[in-house]
Chain A
């Protein structure tokens, strides 16, 4: 069955430190992978996506993610976190038919000065 696991419920980092948010997926075919960010009271905004090609994808706000098929992972990274990055981050996997997108339970990021 298709699923997405975000093992870290909550992460706290200092401003300026590097960040890595983990995402593992289970999917029977070639996955379409996404990272979304949700600020309090807001909708989900797309950070980046992977469909095919280069396994390292760049997104908005300085984020990047790397697709590792052998590990079924799609971890999100940022070299230097800003206070405005504090939010909830969701990893998602979708099919090439566009039917259903499976979301992880999210990782809440706190940034301390």
Chain B
């Protein structure tokens, strides 16, 4: 158990819909990272937050957004969903400064 908690574990939704994925980082970790893993794209970095503020942005679509709350949990919002958004979405956390990032078990999103 990495200490990073993600909910929901599985989610099936229709095209055009909006979903929210939630992540609770390890106790004490200030940084949260979001990754998307799909068969054709591999593990893609989406975005990073540090203590509530956006720190780095990767290949995140405009239809996607994220935030980190004062209690340090984070949410990834995916809207206007397309079939191609079906993937495993990982949250990871670290205490910053280049230290190890620890992954949650992921949220499986299926768009039908």
Provide the main secondary structure of the chain B interface.
strand
- Decide yes or no whether B24 CB sits under 8 A from chain A: no
Cβ contacts under 8 Å, A102 to chain B: 45
Docked complex Cα distance between A42 and B101 (Å): 16
Given contacts A43-B106, A100-B48, contact A34 B43 (CB under 8 A): no
- Decide yes or no whether A95 CB sits under 8 A from chain B: yes
Give, as a whole number of angstroms, the nearest-CB distance from B3 to chain A: 11
Binary contact readout A35-55 vs B (1 if CB under 8 angstroms, 0 otherwise): 010000011111001010000
| Interface residues of B, count at CB 8 A | 27
Cβ contacts under 8 Å, A34 to chain B: 100
Cβ contacts under 8 Å, A67 to chain B: none
- Decide yes or no whether B25 CB sits under 8 A from chain A: no
| Interface residues of A, count at CB 8 A | 23
Given contacts A44-B90, A96-B98, contact A103 B103 (CB under 8 A): no
A98, B102: Cβ atoms closer than 8 Å: no
**A–B complex contacts, Cβ < 8 Å, 13 sampled:** A42-B106, A43-B103, A43-B104, A44-B90, A45-B103, A95-B98, A96-B98, A97-B97, A98-B50, A98-B94, A98-B96, A98-B98, A100-B45
**7 A-B pairs closest in CB distance:** A96-B98, A43-B103, A43-B105, A44-B103, A99-B56, A98-B96, A103-B43
